[in-house]
Amino acid sequence: MNCYPQSLERLMAELAKLPGIGPKTAQRLAFHILDRGPDAANRLAEALNEAAAKLGECPVCFHIAEEGHCALCDDKTRDDSVLCVVESSRDIIPIERSGSFHGRYHVLGGLLSPMEGIGPAELHLKELLKRLEDDTVTEVILATGSNVEGEATAVYIADLLKPLDITVTRIAQGMPVGGDLEYIDEITLAKALAGRREF
Amino acid sequence: MNCYPQSLERLMAELAKLPGIGPKTAQRLAFHILDRGPDAANRLAEALNEAAAKLGECPVCFHIAEEGHCALCDDKTRDDSVLCVVESSRDIIPIERSGSFHGRYHVLGGLLSPMEGIGPAELHLKELLKRLEDDTVTEVILATGSNVEGEATAVYIADLLKPLDITVTRIAQGMPVGGDLEYIDEITLAKALAGRREF
């Protein structure tokens, strides 16, 4: 069916490559973009080109960064003695939003997953060990997710850091705030019970 | 919170302007785009720029078109005697997909909506009347939606075309194929009963 001009078909095809966007949504987005006029489309295009050109990884913590060090590594007010290890850049926002952490980050760039061929060499572990060499860091918080890969990666790193004189901690598992006992899965409940604290 | 570089924040802000895309989805899309590498981002940007530069309206039927007439107006095999009036370019695809129409189209560019300040002058009605002047068209099918604005617009156009010697028809209302009587609303059912045909 050749109802649409080629450049529109191409735009829809490119949009449909995005996650969670099927052909129908791609069509809706394309029409919306065109309805807003060429300026809006060009602005989005410019933002894409700029992001593609400027963004890379921070050479220290591997957080997403623009030309050089990231804002978090540059921030002089943060605590150098605590290092929070996360899977990806995406995980930093929720931690920052919680307002409960003011140390430094280290982005692994993935999680151990033999099924997908991701071993220790694929993660930024050598760089993590290098950052721990000068004894500035006294605590490493393992903040990978609570899924199988996140757990396995945390256990692996804890083992790796055992020879060093550094406290290694893991973020707590338990009931999410606002969670109903009735609807919580039994494994989470078991973790919540095991991790109970004195009131 | 300044966790992300400016160009990433900008990309997320531009993506969040799209319909149905909130800040969380925009973040997911932005990271996905960056994960695919700069080439993919540039390709999407190029598609946007090209669409913005090339696409406009067909001067005859107001369907979305690339530089000049649209493929549907250019198609010599279509029936010039039947004209299907639709709200927007988006409505042409489902009609084409149905395979039940081989005439020409006329895109109104909206529906009458006093609430939103859209009156007859805002729609491509003058151009519709002009297309009907040379007696080529013998039937006009009013294929606007079955909502209040769609109905009102169809009634308005039917009145407008009454003086002309042209058959004006309206697409049927009734049960959608696969629809269950149990779950259908009573207004649709009333229309389905009123529009019943001999078996």
Structure tokens at B160: 């407008």
**Nearest-neighbour CA in chain B from A144: distance (Å):** 18
pLDDT digits (tens, 9 = 90+) for B153-173: 999 999 999 999 999 999 988
Share of chain B above pLDDT 70, in %: 99
Chain A residues with CB inside 8 Å of B20's CB?
A: 25, 28
User: Are A71 and B3 contacting, i.e. CB atoms less than 8 angstroms apart?
Assistant: yes
Minimum CA–CA partner of B49 in chain A: A42
Q: What is the mean pLDDT of residues A131-137?
A: 93
Residues of A in contact with B40 (CB under 8 A): 17
pLDDT band at B25 (very low <50, low <70, confident <90, very high): very high
| Segment A54-68 mean pLDDT | 89
Q: In 3-state terms, what secondary structure has residue A46? A: helix
Are the Cβ atoms of A45 and B43 closer than 8 angstroms?
no
pLDDT score recorded for residue A2: 62
Task: Say whether pLDDT at B2 is over 80.
Answer: no
Q: What is the DSSP letter of B149?
A: H
Q: Any idea which residue has 């919306």 for tokens? A: A32
pTM of the model: 0.74
pLDDT tens, residue by residue, A71-97:
899 999 999 999 999 999 989 988 888
Is the CATH number of domain B76-199 3.40.1360.10? yes
Q: Rounded to whole angstroms, what are the CA distances from A105 to A56, A95, A128, A191?
A: 16, 10, 10, 26
Q: Tell me the chain B residues in contact with residue A9 when contact means C-beta distances shorter than 8 Å.
A: none
A51, B27: Cβ pair inside 8 Å? no
pLDDT tens digits, one per residue of B74-125: 999 999 999 999 999 989 988 888 888 999 999 999 999 989 999 999 999 9
Mean pLDDT on B114-140: 94
| B33 in contact with A, Cβ within 8 Å | yes
Q: How many C-beta atoms surround the C-beta of residue B143 within 10 A?
A: 21
Chain B, 57-96: which have a CB under 8 Å from a chain A CB?
63-66, 70-72, 88-90, 92-93, 96
Chosen for mutation from A1, A6, A7 (greatest number of chain B CBs closer than 10 Å) is A7
Dihedral of CA atoms B54, B59, B64, B67 in degrees, nearest 10, equals -20
pLDDT: which is higher, B2 or B113: B113
Per 3-state DSSP, chain B is made up of helix, strand and coil in percentages (nearest 5) of 45, 15, 40
Q: Among A119, A128, A187, A126, which Cα is nearest to A153's?
A: A119
Domain parsing of chain A, residue ranges: 76-199
**Between the CA of residue A142 and those of A121, A157, B139, B152, B198, what are the distances in Å?**
18, 8, 71, 62, 73
**Spatial separation of the C-alpha atoms in residues A12 and A125, rounded to whole Å:** 40
Question: For A2, which of B4, B18, B71 is closest by C-beta distance?
Answer: B71
The ipTM (two decimal places) reads 0.74
